[in-house]
Amino acid sequence: MNNEWITRVDPVEAADGRLRGLTMALKDNIDLAGVPTTAGDPRNSRPAERNAFVVDRLIAAGAVPLGKTNLDQYATGLVGTRSPYGACHSVFSEQHVSGGSSSGSAVAVATGQVDFALGTDTAGSGRVPAAFNRLVGIKPSRGLVSARGVVPACRSLDCVTVMARTVATARAAYDVMVAYDPDDAWSRRVDDLPRHSAGRVIGVPDVGLDLDPQHEAAWQETLAEAHRLGEVVKVDVRPLLEAADLLYSGPWLAERWLAFGDKLDDDPAVDPTVRAIVRGGAALTASAAFAGFDRLATLARASEHLWTQLDALLLPVTPGHPTLAEVAADPIGANSRLGRFTNMVNLLDLCAVAFPGPDRADGLPFGIQLMAPAGRDDELIDLAALWCGEPVPTRDSGVLLAVAGAHLSGQPLNDQLVRRGARLAFTGRTASSYRMYLVDGPRPGLTRTVTGPDGPGIEVEVWRVPAAELGGFAATIDPPLAIGPLELADGQQVLGFVCTADAADPARDITSSGGWRAYLSGS
């Protein structure tokens, strides 16, 4: 961590205190108010006006940011050497790279300067440095963590990640980071996917992986250890490995050019390798882009059957651990090889968790990773905890709560749900016997009628609210609204916003609109 960028922050009153007492560092492509976000380019010297969305959430939970960390310039690299502030090396060897592009974040955590650090992962930048510094690195499903306030590298693929020395610390930060952000066009809600089988099925490649000798020995030890978690099956990973090759040979290189190509002039501040790689994106044509999209779709279809068989796929994070000298001798080739097992994860809409495997014979760390389709993040984190010998917390399955008014997505009070860790489970309608009335506020209230004509049912979103948060949330609801039983159109019973019968004024019946959004739009 570069001391020049350590900024003392005033104490912040934590809104919920979940991370109280923990310190964090931020990769220097993530905004921290009052500190320049250089993205590894010293010409970017203007202080950020506000925190990134995810930084606000972490501070509100009690985490204290200590400073910004070094990175491969504009988050382009897996080596940690492409920075005008100097190259980072692994904390376990001055001769070996730290991995990038989140190089400084990994070093800050591994040396104990902070409890956890944020990175970003487009091609593997949150996992490679974790692997080279014996850390846990969580790469969430795309869009699960907002990237608002993050300098884009490849906007459609960029993910904010977290690294820590234990799964428990990384999970604690991750749980706070996850939130839908309506002001980030790439933010999305990713529904939790149920485990497909009663046991655990771990996939491993059915062919050799061309690893460096010391990595190969550690990988064979890893394969023997994998049987501790469950059934191990061999699968064909060739479509995934081919998809990895697309990241720097297809339309996503043009997306990097779009993000920061205007910065890649001949100024000495620009890393020459970053310039050489990304300038290639300027020449890509629209037809080449669509050819890349089509090839990726073909490879995704060829690999999708894996996820009907597996709970997770196990791979090394990298094929080897290059030295600083090896990267200097072949900066593009050495970097490309490091992404062989990581580049495809965001392209194929997967989540991943990297964590330490058995050390190599020379004492250097060997990192392994589990990956699965978007939405299986929690399951992967649990598996990583089991592998690392850490306890797996009892998961709060939550309470289903139907909302029909100002707590809907995009409406003014939706953040009251999001801040409490609620996640959208599904959308639907109430049973046809419910009517919607305007009550004080104006707010919509639902009442079930015993007599009278049935209506079309009312549009609702059903959110999964942590059980521990439901009481505090209910306390924010003012009469005549309350939370009570509500029946959906499919007969399912959930909790929902209801109003007392005396507040159901026929003159303020808006049932015919079909829902609050339709009423507000006048349709």
Residue positions annotated with a catalytic role: 27, 101, 125
Cα-Cα end-to-end distance for the chain: 55
Burial (CB < 10 A; 0-12, 13-18, 19+), residue 183, is exposed
Give the integer Cα–Cα distance in Å for 247 and 346.
10
How many alpha carbons lie under 13 Å from residue 10 in its C-beta half-sphere? Answer: 3
Token digits for 308? 């009907």
Give the integer Cα–Cα distance in Å for 170 and 115.
9
Give the integer Cα–Cα distance in Å for 184 and 158.
12
Residues found in the chain: 523
- Give the list of residues 6+ apart from residue 210 with CB closer than 8 angstroms, or none: 319
Question: Alpha carbon of 47 to those of 55, 269, 381: distances in Å?
Answer: 15, 18, 35
H-helix or E-strand spanning residue 306:
helix 306-309
Cβ atoms of 180 and 409 within 8 Å: the answer is yes
Give the integer Cα–Cα distance in Å for 376 and 372.
6
